[in-house]
Structure 1
Amino acid sequence: MSVWQAIILAIIEGLTEFLPVSSTGHMIIASSLMGINELPITKIFEVNIQFGAILSVVVLYWRRFMQGIDFYKKLLLAFIPAIVIGFALMDLIDAMLESVAVTAVMLMVGGVVLLFVDKWFSNATSEKVTYKNALVIGFFQCIAMIPGVSRSAASIIGGLSQGVNRKAAAEFSFFLAVPTMLAAATYKLIKDLLKLEISDLLKFDLVKIQNSFEVLNQDDLKLLLIGNIVAFIVAMFAIRFFINFLTKYGFKMFGYYRIALGITLLALLALGVDLTV
């Protein structure tokens, strides 16, 4: 992977992670068209740069993260379903992540849903997320374990279904992304990159842990650093854009875009393009 390819992927991550368009589908297309989808560093890179995107939320909304214990109780409550369901269905989720066809179909299905969301939840006006709202949003977020659904889309719709307005639902989705993405990305790095089990960490097996880090060389570390910086900067702009756009125009344009992206993925599959995840 070249520096420019790393920058392109990081820009795509920053742009799509918090928008309701599925970053997974975009990463599949981008890495496949650049011919780097089968490189070991690509999967590692795509997971690692999520940390840069996560940091953008903390920096943009640092005052909200200083609000006190009530804020964190709601986040924890919303986060619990992802932990329970994620670990219970881990093998099934991993199997679905290997299917580009599933991603494409869910992009289109989710796109159709977004075409009608504004009409369905036109009465969602509350600016406050209650404990009950947080728990329901957490369960909605779990739908995004199916690739192509979009964590952002699922959690925002969860908020709207509880009467929370677009802006408040989107912002809570961003906040919830911090623990959710942090946990998922850390687990994937431990499991897929370092080839470690949780038991190795709990036993504090220093030899095994040290040997696992030797997988990455200096060039790889440089790419990861650049990717995180780019994803961080781009995500900050994307979040601001999304909040303003969503407040004024709603979800319909994202719906059309998702449908087009899903069709593109299926067309590439039909043409025999290698879209190995």
Structure 2
Amino acid sequence: MIFSIIKVFILSLVEGLTEFVPVSSTGHMIIVDQFLKLSDNKVFVDAFKIIIQLGAILSVVVYYWKKIFPFAKGNTKQERMDIIAMWIKIVIAVIPAVILGLKFDDIIEEKFFNSLTVSIMLVFYGILLIWIETRKKKEEKIKSIKEMTIPLALGVGLFQCLAMIPGTSRSAATIIGGVLLGLNRVLATEFSFFLAIPTMLGATLLKIVKIGNVLTMEEWFLIGLGFVLSFVFAYAVIKVFMDYIKKHDFKVFGYYRIILGIIMLLLFFTGVIK
């Protein structure tokens, strides 16, 4: 049991550190689990990787509470109306992920939750991130969610669906989509955070319903522990990451993805991982 707890701690740390940065938290957990081997029970491992992400996402709720809860103490009437309008856009933006997730969740888990897919996606979206940052920037940028239209929010939601393939990164997909659609970098990142709340809540509920009662009490304990640890680690990352992107671009994450992806491809084709 003690070794399982240590593995959960490491995986939760990886999840917390990578959930909000555009490098793919699911991809990193798949890679790390190749070496740690959390369990031989695939149902448990897949559930663990999905459910603990909700713990990380809930750190957004705590960190941005006043900004996302209309009736938080101190919010004015206008701020409340703006937050409600924001949630309408978020709910509309999450619809594509709900539809595609319900339809293709099992197929994606069966076909794409592997190191080869993760490695390829790491490299591909790493190149795309660098391209986004080196292309000529438009002078006019959308700088607040209030300025976003419903079609624009839906467009970002469609980009988020790309992240159903592990190794893509939900934050990378939504940030890339947001920037391409005219959002500035900080707004695209924040909207990615907020969009993740209903997305991961839905993904977690779907996973819990699908697995039913097949997991043991010990496995549920490990998932719960990972959930809490991921929350703690992710909360510590949010402010650091937001402060970073206000002064820097995403190129460093693109280079990191490419290097890691190439290393993983070499390990895969030499038989070190599978």
Structure 1 length normalisation: TM-score?
0.85
8 Å contact from structure 1 (residues 52, 228) kept in 2? yes
Which residue is equivalent to 1:25?
27
Which residue is equivalent to 1:49?
52
Which residue is equivalent to 1:73?
88
Match of 1:184 among 181, 196, 203: 203
SS in 1 for 2:247: helix
SS in 2 for 1:63: helix
8 Å contact from structure 1 (residues 47, 189) kept in 2? no
**In structure 2, how many angstroms separate the alpha carbons of the residues matched to 1:102 and 1:180?**
22
8 Å contact from structure 1 (residues 121, 160) kept in 2? no
**In structure 1, how many angstroms separate the alpha carbons of the residues matched to 2:7 and 2:114?**
23
The unaligned stretches of length 5 or more in structure 1 are 195-211
Is the alpha carbon distance of 1:88 and 1:75 closer, same or farther for their aligned partners in structure 2, counting shifts above 3 Å?
same
1:171 and 2:210 are equivalent in the alignment: no
**In structure 2, how many angstroms separate the alpha carbons of the residues matched to 1:85 and 1:121?**
33
Match of 1:109 among 124, 137, 149: 124
Deviations 1:88-125, CA, capped at 9 Å, x for gaps = 43454234323421221111010011112123362363
Read off the aligned partner of 1:55 and give its amino acid letter. L
SS in 1 for 2:144: coil
Is the alpha carbon distance of 1:74 and 1:50 closer, same or farther for their aligned partners in structure 2, counting shifts above 3 Å?
same
Read off the aligned partner of 2:30 and give its amino acid letter. I
**In structure 1, how many angstroms separate the alpha carbons of the residues matched to 2:45 and 2:102?**
24
Deviation at 1:48, TM superposition (A): 2.2
Is the alpha carbon distance of 1:47 and 1:92 closer, same or farther for their aligned partners in structure 2, counting shifts above 3 Å?
closer
Read off the aligned partner of 2:121 and give its amino acid letter. M
Query: Percent same amino acid among aligned pairs?
Result: 41
SS in 2 for 1:250: coil
Read off the aligned partner of 1:153 and give its amino acid letter. A
Deviations 1:23-52, CA, capped at 9 Å, x for gaps = 122112211111335344433322221221
**In structure 1, how many angstroms separate the alpha carbons of the residues matched to 2:255 and 2:237?**
19
**In structure 2, how many angstroms separate the alpha carbons of the residues matched to 1:38 and 1:186?**
23
Worse-superposed segment, 30-39 or 160-169:
30-39
Match of 1:128 among 132, 141, 144: 144
**In structure 2, how many angstroms separate the alpha carbons of the residues matched to 1:126 and 1:20?**
20
**In structure 1, how many angstroms separate the alpha carbons of the residues matched to 2:240 and 2:111?**
31
8 Å contact from structure 2 (residues 4, 38) kept in 1? no
Deviation at 1:145, TM superposition (A): 1.6
How is 1:72-221 mapped onto 2 (pairs within 5 angstroms)?
A: 72-120=87-135, 122-123=137-138, 125-129=141-145, 130=148, 131-191=150-210, 193-194=211-212, 212=213, 215-217=215-217, 219-221=218-220
Is the alpha carbon distance of 1:106 and 1:264 closer, same or farther for their aligned partners in structure 2, counting shifts above 3 Å?
same
**In structure 1, how many angstroms separate the alpha carbons of the residues matched to 2:245 and 2:87?**
25
Which residue is equivalent to 2:65?
62
8 Å contact from structure 2 (residues 24, 170) kept in 1? yes
Deviation at 1:221, TM superposition (A): 3.6
Read off the aligned partner of 2:266 and give its amino acid letter. A
**In structure 1, how many angstroms separate the alpha carbons of the residues matched to 2:122 and 2:39?**
20
Count of aligned pairs between the two proteins: 255
Which residue is equivalent to 1:234?
233
The unaligned stretches of length 5 or more in structure 2 are 71-82
CA RMSD, aligned part only? 1.9
Which residue is equivalent to 2:76?
none
